[in-house]
Amino acid sequence: MMTNLNISADPQGSPVRLIDPLLSVEGLSKRYRSGDPLAVDNVNFSLGNGEILALLGPSGCGKTTTLRMIAGFETPDSGEIHLHGKQVTQLPPQQRRIGIVFQDYALFPHMSLGDNVAFAMRHIAKAKRPAKAREWLDLVGLADLSARMPDELSGGQQQRVALARTLAAEPELVLLDEPFSNLDAALRESTRKEVRRLFKAAGTSVILVTHDQAEALSFADQVGVMHSGRLLQMDRPEHIYQTPATSFVAEFLGHTNLLEGEADGEIAQTALGPVAINHHQQGPVRLSLRPEHLSLSAAPDDHGATIVEREFRGHDCYYLLEHHGQRFCAITPSHTLWKIGEQVRLEPQRTATVLRD
């Protein structure tokens, strides 16, 4: 899918209120102990049917607490949670029809895989459960292991059983609490793809909590970045990456250059010279410019930037450069390589994003 990266759509625009959202969260706040800072601080968002949302942030940012309040395991101090327009804030977890896959999977060790999955089917007649459980296990490719006990499975298999069990309850919404973090790197990527395909095929709505930005960007339709209990920004992955609202969002989603500049209309004067900015502004501004949007070329004289560090990464190459005492980073395709100490010309190729802070 080709998307024009020079999106000039208004990032400060008013929220698009989904007309009939599956889930809407309003003013959610939670403090664990009086005197502590708020663990979750006035979080608002809504999620459409069939959408996958990733809540992304460093540990302790409040993303898991938010998830647990939606699931019903924590009571918010204030705020409301609506599912299908119905208030569920006071409902116990078992009446919410919201499924959750735990980080530790929480498979019942005294039940076989089939029994674990059948345990989720309260809405189905007892006699039909074993056959139906096999169908769900088949969906995750484990139908043959139905009689096994959870401790006889590998981590990846346990993860898939936990997923099948959650889906078997036919929930309105599935919550995933860092579900891929216990898998090794190779398995993680393939499982992620498979799980996403599964959710998309079933049209399931999902909220995923993670601290891995690559996971959030590749898995979700919407990414929300959280920091110290607040939801700083929520948007489609390509938008949030290209037009971050704050320097924290910009830096958490990947490498970036934070530039101070003086804006005059659509152009700002920065240490890298004039740079196009994404909307009309006057006066001092702070900009974010992604390293892959900088190009390097041979400097005609000694006035260019000096290459300080180089990290060859196969398909591309990451450089750290110094220019007038300021540091910049750039990522360029690896077909042209520069040496450490070389002088190069550093040129912005795309529009920089004006940050709010």
Partner 1 sequence: MTRINSTSAHSQPASRLPRLLPRNVPLHILLPSLVVAAAMLVPLVYLGLRAFEADSATLVDLVFRPRNLQLLINTLALAAGVVVLTTVMAFPLAWLVTRTDIRFKRALTIMGVIPLAVPGYVMAYALIGLGGNYGVLAQLTGIQLPRIQGYAGATLALSLYTFPYLFLNLRTALSGLDSNLEESARSLGYSQAEILRKVTLPHLMPSLMAGWLVITLYVLGDFGAVALMRYEAFSYAIYTQYSGAFDRIYAAWLAIMLLAVAASFVMLDSLVLKRKLARVGTGVARPLRATPLGRARWLAWPYLIVLFSISIGLPVMILSYWLLLAPPDMSFFARVPGTFLRSAGAALPAALLAAAFALPLAFLTVRYRSPFSTLIERSAYIGYALPPLALGLAMVFFSLRTAPFLYQTLALLIITWAMASLALAMGPIRNSLLQTRPSMEQASHSLGHGPVSTFIYVIFPRLRRGILAGVVLVFVLCMKELPITFLLAPTGYTTLAVTVFTRTSEGMLAEAAPFAAAIVVFSSLSVGLLLTKEGK
318 binds partner 1 (CB under 8 A): no
Instruction: Find the binding residues for partner 1 in span 87-106 (CB under 8 A).
Output: 92-100, 102, 104, 106
Shortest separation between residue 77's beta carbon and partner 1, angstroms: 5
Judged by CB under 8 A, the residue of 3, 8, 27, 202 near partner 1 is 27
Can you tell me the distance from the alpha carbon of 286 to that of 72, in angstroms, rounded to the nearest whole number? 40
162-186 burial string, b = 16+ CB within 10 Å, else e? bbbbbbbbebbbbbbbbbbeebeee
**Residues of this chain, 110-139, that bind partner 1 according to CB under 8 A:** 110, 119-120, 122-123
Closest CB 61 distance from partner 1, rounded Å: 13
Residues 207-226 that bind partner 1 (CB under 8 A): 222, 224
255 Cβ contact partners less than 8 Å away, ≥ 6 residues apart: 290, 291, 318, 329, 331
Is 41 a binder of partner 1 (CB under 8 A)?
Answer: yes
Residue 46 or 210 having the CB closest to partner 1: 46
**72 lies in the binding site for partner 1 (CB under 8 A):** yes
187 HSE (CA, 13 A, CB side): 13
CA-only gyration radius of the chain, Å: 24
User: Is 166 an interacting residue with respect to partner 1 (CB under 8 A)?
Assistant: yes
Q: Where are the beta strands (DSSP E) in the chain?
A: 23-30, 40-47, 52-56, 78-83, 86-87, 98-101, 173-177, 205-210, 222-227, 230-235, 257-270, 273-289, 294-298, 305-312, 316-323, 326-333, 343-348, 353-354
Site residues (CB under 8 A) for partner 1, limited to 235-294: 235-236, 239
Task: Provide the minimum distance between the beta carbon of 73 and partner 1 in the complex, in angstroms, as a whole number.
Answer: 5
Chain residues that interact with partner 1, rule: CB under 8 A? 12-16, 27, 29, 31, 34-35, 38, 41-46, 71-73, 75, 77-79, 92-100, 102, 104, 106, 108-110, 119-120, 122-123, 165-166, 169, 171, 182, 222, 224, 230-236, 239
